[in-house]
Chain A
Amino acid sequence: MRMELIQPFINAADAVFSESLQAPTKIADLSMDEETYRRKGIAAHIHIKGEIEGRVILDLAPEVALRVAAQLAGSAVTESEQVARETVCELANMVIGNSVTLLNDQGFRFKVFPPEIHMNDQGLAGSADTEAMVICMETPCGQIYLNISMHYLHRRRKERDTAPALD
Chain B
Amino acid sequence: MDDIYDLRSIFLGEDSPVRDLVISSLEGTPLEESAGSIAFAAGTFAVVNIVFLMLFFSQFAILWIERKAVARMNDRRGATTALRSLWVGENGVTAGEWWNMLPFGAGVPVGAVNRWLNKKFGNRDENFATVDRVNNRSWMGYSIFPGFFQNVADGMKFLLKEHMVPRRADKLIFEVSPFLIVSSTLLILGIIPLSSGIYATNPDLSILYAIAIFGIAPIGVFFAGWSSNNKYTLIGGIRSAAQLTAYEIPLLLTLLSVAVLSGTFNIIESIHFQHSAGAWNLFLMPLGAALFLVTMIAEVERVPFDMPEAEAELVEGWWTEYGGMRFGMLFMAEYIRTYAACFLFTHFFLAGWHLPFQGTISQIPLLGDAYVLIPGAIVVLLKSWLVFLVVFVWARFSLARIRTDQILEFGWRMLLPLSVLQLVLSTLYRLFLFDPASMKDTAAGGNAWMIPGLEIPMLLPLLTTLLWLGVFFLLLNDEDKDAAPDRMYHVYTLQPAGTHTPGKD
Bound together: no
